[in-house]
Amino acid sequence: MNHEQYMTQAIDLAYENVIKDGGPFAAIVVKDEVIVGQGVNLVTKNNDPTAHAEVMAIRDACKNLGTFQLDQCILYTSCEPCPMCLGAIYWARPKAVYYAMNKHEAAQIGFDDAFIYEEIAQVKEKRKIPFIHIKTDDKRPFVGWKNKEDKIEY
Ligand SMILES: [Zn+2]
């Protein structure tokens, strides 16, 4: 299949998800021309604000491949990723991302993530959700990690 055909498959899944009980988003992960994972938006069904299609597809692909990195994979998502999914994609490290509908089109049907992008650029003190730094000298988790000899780095 070519890029457009994989995308059509993602759009089919997204549309099916609207007919069922999820948001209008879906994503698939392809490795060596084989679909190794897929996901749809299940935020309201699962009561999980992080259950976006891209995150669900990344989790599915990683589980199926037995890895925490998707560096040989391509992610096809029916819509341009939000900031959370953008971060998840960078952690998963696929070699490319293809998207269909864009964030402006998503905003027109009520999925406006522009405010999150604005919040990222905002100084912490001016963010809508307060982020308060508690200073501590208790660095056990970081010291423990630094000194751990059998750690799996990612
Ligand atoms: Zn997202």
Q: Quick one: pLDDT at residue 137?
A: 96
CB-based neighbours (< 5 A) of ligand 1, an ion: 52, 82, 84-85
Distance 102 CA to ligand 1 centre (A): 12
Pairing of strands 96-101, 34-40: unpaired
Share above pLDDT 90 across residues of the chain, in percent, rounded to a whole number: 86
Catalytic residue annotation: 54
64: burial class by Cβ within 10 Å (0-12, 13-18, 19+)?
A: middle
H or E segment at 74? strand 73-79
Q: pTM for this structure?
A: 0.93
**Ligand 1 centroid from CA 11, angstroms:** 16
- Mean pLDDT, rounded, of the chain: 95
Cα 81 to ligand 1 centroid, rounded to whole Å = 5
Is the pLDDT score of 11 beyond 90?
Answer: yes
pLDDT of residue 13 exceeding 90: yes
135 C-alpha vs ligand 1 centroid, how far in Å? 31
Q: How is 14-48 classified by DSSP, letter by letter? A: HHHHHHTTS-S-EEEEEETTEEEEEEE--HHHHT-
